[in-house]
């Protein structure tokens, strides 16, 4: 079910994949939107109910004037308040992973568990792909051919407009968001108190193995690392192992 809520003058949209299960909030990365979590939601049902936000400037959510760290975290807080589901696990990929652990650090009483997919506590965001994206294509096939191997990772954001095919995000906004993502966030990462799963793609160039290992070492006993045969977009490259890792982690959480 798609729904929306307002934060000031902006509208944020989200997908509630439904079911009787326990809620899990999901936060996508750049070039994606809430719909990217549909396969995970189906796989985790009925025990878990995935609710995924179209983050500011993505999907069906409004564009914003700013894409800073505090802006994204404030949106997650507003999303959580709107849902009124109480403390929950939060999952995030890439940029959404930073949003997730920063939210968990600053709202410890509202996050029962954290799953971070392939992003570090230090981020040197690369927006070169953004500048290479074809701005417009006459057909979906022409767009896929122009983008090449990256197309499957972005196709959930493809939209048909009057003059051809484009994206549900703005190119310039995405560059600004990448720029604002670059930084070191060790204090947030180390401040997270809930059980944490860090998932790394074994061939990822975004999260080096030694950095992932340092993240775990700095949170001894409160976080553990799983490496899967994938690149940066683990949930796409290795969907079954990714789902297994998430399910195993969630199932093993202590009950109240």
Structure-token pair, residue 72: 């994204």
% of the chain with per-residue pLDDT over 90: 83
Distances 78 to 4, 6, 37, 253 between C-alpha atoms, Å: 11, 9, 20, 25
What local confidence, expressed as pLDDT, does residue 45 receive?
A: 97
CA distance linking residue 104 with residue 189, whole number of Å: 9
CA distance linking residue 118 with residue 30, whole number of Å: 13
Per-residue pLDDT of 29-73, as tens digits, reads 999 999 999 999 999 999 999 999 999 999 999 999 999 999 999
Give the distance, in angstroms, between the CA of residue 202 and the centroid of all CA atoms in the same chain: 18
Q: Is the pLDDT higher at 130 or at 103?
A: 103
Given a cut of 70, is residue 256 above it in pLDDT? no
What local confidence, expressed as pLDDT, does residue 66 receive?
A: 95
% of the chain with per-residue pLDDT over 70: 100
Beta bridge partners of 53: 14, 27
**243 within 8 A of 47, measured Cβ to Cβ:** no
Query: Looking at residues 77-106, what average pLDDT do you find?
Result: 98
What local confidence, expressed as pLDDT, does residue 132 receive?
A: 86
CA distance linking residue 211 with residue 163, whole number of Å: 44
Q: Binning pLDDT at 50, 70 and 90, where does residue 227 land? A: very high
3-state SS, the chain, equals: CEEEEEECCEEEEEEECCCCCEEEEEECCCCCCHHHHHHHHHHHCCCEEEEEECCCCCCCCCCCCCCCHHHHHHHHHHHHHHHCCCCEEEEEECHHHHHHHHHHHHCHHHEEEEEEECCCCEECCCCHHHHHCCCCECCHHHHHHHHHHHHHHHHHHEEEECCEEEECCCHHHHHHHHHHHCEECHHHHHHCCCCEEEEEECCCCCCCHHHHHHHHHCCCCCEEEEEECCCCCHHHHCHHHHHHHHHHHHHCCCCC
CA distance linking residue 168 with residue 42, whole number of Å: 23
Query: Looking at residues 134-138, what average pLDDT do you find?
Result: 85
CA distance linking residue 192 with residue 158, whole number of Å: 35
Query: Looking at residues 162-178, what average pLDDT do you find?
Result: 91
Question: In 3D, which of 79, 137, 114 has the Cα closest to residue 195?
Answer: 114
Q: Which domains, from first to last, does the chain contain?
A: 2-124+170-251 (3.40.50.1820)
């Amino acid at each position: 079910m798609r729904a929306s809520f307002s934060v000031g003058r902006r509208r944020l949209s989200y997908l509630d994949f439904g079911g009787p299960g326990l809620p899990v909030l999901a936060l996508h990365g750049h070039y994606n939107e809430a719909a990217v979590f549909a396969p995970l939601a189906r796989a985790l049902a009925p025990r878990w109910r995935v609710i995924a936000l179209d983050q500011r400037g993505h999907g069906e959510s409004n564009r914003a004037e700013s894409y800073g760290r505090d802006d994204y975290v404030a949106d997650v807080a507003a999303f959580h308040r709107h849902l009124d589901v109480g403390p929950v696990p939060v999952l995030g990929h890439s940029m959404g992973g930073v949003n997730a652990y920063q939210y968990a650090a600053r709202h410890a009483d509202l996050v029962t568990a954290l799953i971070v997919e392939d992003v570090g506590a230090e981020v040197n965001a690369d927006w070169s792909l953004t500048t290479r994206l074809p701005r417009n294509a006459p057909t979906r096939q022409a767009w896929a051919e122009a983008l090449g191997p990256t197309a499957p990772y972005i196709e959930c954001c493809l939209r048909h407009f009057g003059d051809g095919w484009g994206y549900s995000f703005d190119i310039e906004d995405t560059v600004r968001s990448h720029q604002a993502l670059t930084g070191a966030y060790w204090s947030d990462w180390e401040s997270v108190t809930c059980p944490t799963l860090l998932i790394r793609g074994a061939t990822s160039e975004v999260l080096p193995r030694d950095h992932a290992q340092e993240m775990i070492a700095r949170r001894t006993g409160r976080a553990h690392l799983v490496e899967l045969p994938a690149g940066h977009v683990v949930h796409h490259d290795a969907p079954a192992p990714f789902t297994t890792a998430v399910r195993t982690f969630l199932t093993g959480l202590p009950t109240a």
